[in-house]
Amino acid sequence: MFNLAQDDPMVMHMALALSFEDMDPRRPTPSPESNQRPAYHYSSALRLLADAVGCEEPCEDFDSLLTTLWLMVLYEQQFGHSQSQGCSNHLKGAASLLQHRMKKFLQFPAPDHDVDTPTCALTRKSGLDTRPMLSLYSARMLVWISGSDAAAASTGGGGHFNRTLMSLLSEAQPEDSGANLNDPFEPPPLSPLQSYMRMHRYSNPLYRVAWATHILKPNY
């Protein structure tokens, strides 16, 4: 995540907004600007996110977008209004991103095919020219946002993201699931929960792949 923040101002602004909001009240003598810094970085990230989402060009790198949305949800959960309106709005925004930009990326390989499937920790680190597929990181961010949405739903402020995600996962049946319900020799289609668990398993190698890339990176 912090590697993304070094390259993407949108993610950096949200990291700073969370950091200042958490640290400034703990300072013995807060500066007059301390109350303004979180709001400045938060609003800056919002503007950059709106520009990125509103861009007409097709986006296939969702690492930064999903990270920014998750950090905004986290910010609202920790420091936002008690009615969770900001959190709910960001979860609706994440659901809209799924619906309009990410449909074709929501097919994930079966566990027994994972070894043969090319994956990358981050989209921008990938030189792959294969069928559309999310990075391991983006898939894990979907899992994290899904968890935040489930938590928000318990207080009446969420549910939009998971409803959209489950619906799209049901539509995006992978090639190894049964497309013809009348053919007894084909495997049955995956349930939404099975598709979700497949996405979760797909993201599991993230830390191993990311650390291996970091450790094996040459120092020159």
DSSP of 187-203, one letter per residue?
PPPPPHHHHHHHHHHHH
Q: What percent of the chain has pLDDT over 70?
A: 75
Which candidate, 61, 63, 23, places its Cα nearest to that of 41?
Answer: 23
Q: Is residue 124 part of a domain?
A: no
Which is more confidently placed, 87 or 29? 87
Give 154-190 pLDDT, tens digit per residue: 888 889 999 999 999 988 765 555 555 555 556 667 7
CB 35 within 8 A of CB 4: no
Q: Would you state the pLDDT for residue 53?
A: 87
Which is more confidently placed, 35 or 129? 35
Across 36-40, 88-92, 169-173, least confident range: 169-173
Residue 75 burial by Cβ neighbours in a 10 Å radius (0-12, 13-18, 19+): buried
Q: Is residue 9 part of a domain?
A: yes
Instruction: Choose from 54-68, 123-137, 156-170, 188-202 the range with maximum mean pLDDT.
Output: 156-170
* Residue 130 predicted with pLDDT over 60: no
d(CA 159, CA 149): 6
Q: What percent of the chain has pLDDT over 90?
A: 37
- What pTM was estimated for this model as a whole? 0.81
Centre a 10 Å sphere on the Cβ of residue 150 and count the other Cβ atoms it contains: 13
Q: SS3 of 145, please?
A: helix
* Residue 50 predicted with pLDDT over 60: yes
Q: Is residue 91 part of a domain?
A: yes
Q: Is residue 56 part of a domain?
A: yes
Q: Is residue 198 part of a domain?
A: yes
The overall average pLDDT reported for the chain is: 80
Instruction: Choose from 33-42, 125-134, 208-217 the range with maximum mean pLDDT.
Output: 33-42
Domain that holds residue 48: 1-108+132-173+189-213
Helix boundaries (H) for 55-135: 63-79, 85-101
d(CA 123, CA 133): 9
Question: How many domains is the chain partitioned into structurally?
Answer: 1
Is residue 144 very low, low, confident or very high in pLDDT (cuts 50, 70, 90)?
A: very high
DSSP state of 208: H
| Residue whose tokens read 């899992």 | 143
Q: Is residue 119 part of a domain?
A: no
Q: Would you state the pLDDT for residue 220?
A: 39
Q: Is residue 115 part of a domain?
A: no
CA dihedral of 100, 158, 90, 13, whole degrees rounded to 10: -130
Dihedral over Cα of 110, 58, 149, 142: its sign: positive
> Cα dist. 192→96, 102, 198, 210 in Å?
19, 17, 10, 28
Q: Is residue 93 part of a domain?
A: yes
Task: List the structure tokens of 144.
Answer: 């994290």
